[in-house]
Structure 1
Amino acid sequence: MNDAASGVFITLEGGDGSGKSTQAALLAGWLGEQGRTVMRTREPGGTEVGVEIREIVLHHRGHIAPRAEALLYAADRAHHIETAVRPALARGEVVIQDRYIDSSVAYQGAGRVLGGEEVRQLSLWATEGLLPDLTVLLDLDETVARGRLDAAEKRFDRLEAEKGAFHARVRAAFLALAAAEPERFLVVDAALPVDEIAALIRARVAALLG
């Protein structure tokens, strides 16, 4: 699906607390064992510029206008794709990325009620239309996800701290995106044991890689 030489672009999506980072690490390790060169990255914050944008969008103490927030994510994405992701794909690497366009559609489009199609078009413009070959959606009830975050006793960022209704809209948006593009998405129940989730993802990735 992507147009960047021979590399493979895999994204992981889902609500906060769904286990994306864990599964990204497991998948990267498995691919490394298969002899693949892997680049793990994330949005926001996958570049030096992105780290600064991440601090603003996730940890700024004051109010950020929703449209400004969406534009900041798009700015991070534009720089990240041009300077990190496309070069890795051009080298033939497998890029495993924590969050991408679908997160903006879900969080800013649905969560912030800006409109999913407008936010999607903004990101497509920012990335010159680059879409993943595979998107793994780790689906988890938002109340269960909140319980995981509470148990972790971590510092909540601006999005994690939003109320349940916000996260319910986000989850519904993710599921709608997956239903609209079943050929791109693998939807996995994030309440399953970690090793079972990893096996499902490996099977789909193995089929993708041929």
Structure 2
Amino acid sequence: MDLHRKIAERVATGLAGRDDVLAVLLSGSVCRGEHVATSDIDLLVVTTEDSSLELAPRQLVDGLLVEWIARPEAQWLTRFDRPKTSWLYSFLEAEVLVDRGPAVRLAEAARRLLATYRTSAELRELIATHLWHSQAKLDRAQASGDPRELGFWAALSVEWILYGLYAVHDVPLPAGSRLLAYLHLIPLSADEDTLAEAMLTGSSPERLQAARDLVARLRRELGPADHERTE
């Protein structure tokens, strides 16, 4: 067992000795086996309602940063279905280190929500607004013809375009750093898949054009933007 996992289990064992800790799960890159020597260690902690455990401490253990988020089960559940949620995915992929019951229930709740999720009107409007702003910038970049401008504005648009693809297909939004990791969950059409591939891997002109095409398509499907809202 490597150092990251040894420390995670040691901290989890210490937390489990508290009466107000009901479950500890390993999350993040260490859980996925993607960590490097400098990676921090992320833990999810489920507590009792009256817990005095610190919500989100940061501590160094044998030179590695350990962070946890501690909440009662009911509070974790409320964070699974918000306009922009990533905690659902955290519990889906987390490794249970300690459990007196809530970790299994939360993972099952996350699976149910993933299967039944519908993008809220609030989130659709938020993404549509960002893409409305992006459209003008992408159009100006294309008019300039400067390859650096094309690549720059295409790159800046990628995150919200991917959010749009998740939203129109009713798939919960993961954290920005995990947008590509869960892209396989989106039932992309052949055209969407082709455009997404061009936007991510093409030349600067190809990326810019694919981004413009996707923005135009997503704006039609998402519905109206809030034109009074700034970015």
Give the TM-score category using the shorter length.
Answer: under 0.3
> Rg larger in 1 or in 2?
2
